[in-house]
């Protein structure tokens, strides 16, 4: 109600009433009308589609929160032996090689896909891009106190990653069998857990026959990470940082023997910018509905879980495809033996001094028979008596 109409109503009611209405009543009514008139403009900040989706989500029946394991199990292939592993890897590479896949293996299928830096920040406060950047700036300041060079910034973070410091880099490889090795790597604490291999496309489907052109160029900046240049979510969204429309990765010229052996590079994590549209598209393409918070808890490398045996299709959110293999715990020993027969054992995957140190510190470091079996120590010659 306009304030002029309210004033006219006040005069009419006062004249018609035998007892005067207190002035305080009219003052409070005027305040309430003003608040209501201002509040109706708030929904205009959202598009009609967003309002419909928001209202639909509010009416969703209560249900348990979905886990990272459930997210990556959408369209996942169950691997029960060497034959099923090779068949699945062949199908994915044959059907989806145009997406230029990048692979990662994890020893526990229930783990989320987040960097060590993300988990460290998340332990004390909600991880956001601004908080990740603040943690990186603090880490670089400490490095200066130690006399460490932080330029080029990308090389600095790669060295820190391989030294065990928390960074937003996630180890990845271009070789699916190496990713499988990481998923089944011998570990007495995890051998009874299913492992997982995940592949992300670096190109998105743009039509029935086409995918996006390769775009692996990273903004050039040496003094600081290039993502520090984007200071708002709007800027990040425009370039696809954290949106799932591009898998940001870095496969530099081999920085070390380890990276050469692993055909390794890095997934560059961004705090996810998951919009309602992304959640809707993702939910429509899989077997369950997914909330924004559940997606971000599952992974910070966002994409659309996809079937390995059929061609991908274009989607409204321009999400890259994600393919997942769940390696059953019972299959780990046989797959480990197969990969060892192809030269993938600890000393070959970690051929540097750091690998030796990690092995000696691990559960098999002083077990000679295990060392001989996995190729980390030569057998002693027989002693003649």
Q: Is the pLDDT of residue 59 over 90?
A: no
Q: What is the radius of gyration, based on Cα positions, of the chain?
A: 28
| Mean pLDDT within 331-345 | 97
Q: Is the pLDDT of residue 345 over 50?
A: yes
Q: Which two tokens stand for residue 208?
A: 């029935």
Highest mean pLDDT among 29-43, 214-228, 296-310, 370-384: 296-310
Tokens 């400490």, residue located: 142
Q: What is the DSSP string of 111-122?
A: --B--HHHHHHH
Q: What is the DSSP string of 304-316?
A: EE--SSS-----T
| Residue-level pLDDT at 382 | 35
Q: What is the pTM of this model?
A: 0.80
Separation between Cα atoms, residue 54 and residue 48, nearest integer Å: 10
Nearest by Cα to 232 from 325, 130, 343? 130
Separation between Cα atoms, residue 11 and residue 1, nearest integer Å: 15
Helix axes 276-285, 48-58, angle to 10 degrees: 60
Separation between Cα atoms, residue 158 and residue 369, nearest integer Å: 34
| Mean pLDDT within 50-63 | 51
pLDDT tens sequence across 224-281: 999 999 999 999 999 999 999 999 999 998 778 999 999 999 999 999 999 889 999 9
pLDDT tens sequence across 113-154: 999 999 999 999 999 999 999 999 999 999 999 999 999 999
Q: Which two tokens stand for residue 133?
A: 């950047």
Q: Is the pLDDT of residue 36 over 60?
A: no
| Residue-level pLDDT at 139 | 97
In which element (H, E) is residue 228 found?
Answer: none
Nearest by Cα to 248 from 185, 201, 184? 201
Name the band, by pLDDT with cuts 50, 70 and 90, for residue 367.
confident
pLDDT tens sequence across 300-337: 999 999 999 999 999 999 999 999 999 999 999 999 99
| Residue-level pLDDT at 377 | 42
* Other Cβ atoms within 10 Å of 294 Cβ, number: 18
* Other Cβ atoms within 10 Å of 109 Cβ, number: 23
pLDDT tens sequence across 178-190: 999 999 999 999 9
Task: Please state which of the ranges 39-48, 211-220, 230-239, 370-379 shows the lowest mean pLDDT.
Answer: 39-48
Nearest by Cα to 351 from 264, 265, 261, 266? 261
Separation between Cα atoms, residue 23 and residue 109, nearest integer Å: 68
Q: How far is CA 258 from CA 315, 349, 363, 374, in A?
A: 37, 7, 21, 17
Q: Is the pLDDT of residue 78 over 80?
A: yes
Q: How many CA atoms lie within 13 A of 13 on its CB side?
A: 12
């Amino acid at each position: 109600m306009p304030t002029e109409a309210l004033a006219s109503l006040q005069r009419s009611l006062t004249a018609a009433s035998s007892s005067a209405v207190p002035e305080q009543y009219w003052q409070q009514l005027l305040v309430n009308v003003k608040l209501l008139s201002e509040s109706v403009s708030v929904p205009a900040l959202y598009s009609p589609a967003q309002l419909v989706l928001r209202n639909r989500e509010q009416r969703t029946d209560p249900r348990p929160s979905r886990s990272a394991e459930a997210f990556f199990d959408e369209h996942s292939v169950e691997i029960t032996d060497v034959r099923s592993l090779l068949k699945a890897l062949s199908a994915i590479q044959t059907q989806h090689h145009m997406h230029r896949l990048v692979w990662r293996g994890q020893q526990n299928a229930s783990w989320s896909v987040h960097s060590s830096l993300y988990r460290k920040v998340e332990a004390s406060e909600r991880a956001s891009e601004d908080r990740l950047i603040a943690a990186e700036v603090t880490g670089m300041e400490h490095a200066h106190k130690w006399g460490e060079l932080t330029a080029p910034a990308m090389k600095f973070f790669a060295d820190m990653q391989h030294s065990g410091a928390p960074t937003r880099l996630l180890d990845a490889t271009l070789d699916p069998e190496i990713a499988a090795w990481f998923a089944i790597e011998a570990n007495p604490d995890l051998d009874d857990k299913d492992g997982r291999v995940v592949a992300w496309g670096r190109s998105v489907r743009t039509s029935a026959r086409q995918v996006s052109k390769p775009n692996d160029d990273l903004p050039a900046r040496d003094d600081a990470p290039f993502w520090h240049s984007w200071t708002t979510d709007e800027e990040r969204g425009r370039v696809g940082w954290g949106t799932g429309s591009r898998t940001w990765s870095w496969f530099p010229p081999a920085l070390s023997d380890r990276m050469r052996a692993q055909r390794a590079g890095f997934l560059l994590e961004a705090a996810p910018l998951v919009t309602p549209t992304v959640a809707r598209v993702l939910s429509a393409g899989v077997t369950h509905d997914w909330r924004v918070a559940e997606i971000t808890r599952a992974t910070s490398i966002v994409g659309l879980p996809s079937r390995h045996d059929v061609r991908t299709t274009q989607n409204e959110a321009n999400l890259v495809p994600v393919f997942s293999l769940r390696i059953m715990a019972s299959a780990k020993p046989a797959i480990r033996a197969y990969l060892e027969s192809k030269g993938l054992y600890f000393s070959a995957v970690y051929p540097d001094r750091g690998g030796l140190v990690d092995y000696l510190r691990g559960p098999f470091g002083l077990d000679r028979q295990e060392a001989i079996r996995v190729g980390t120590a030569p057998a002693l010659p027989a002693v003649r008596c």
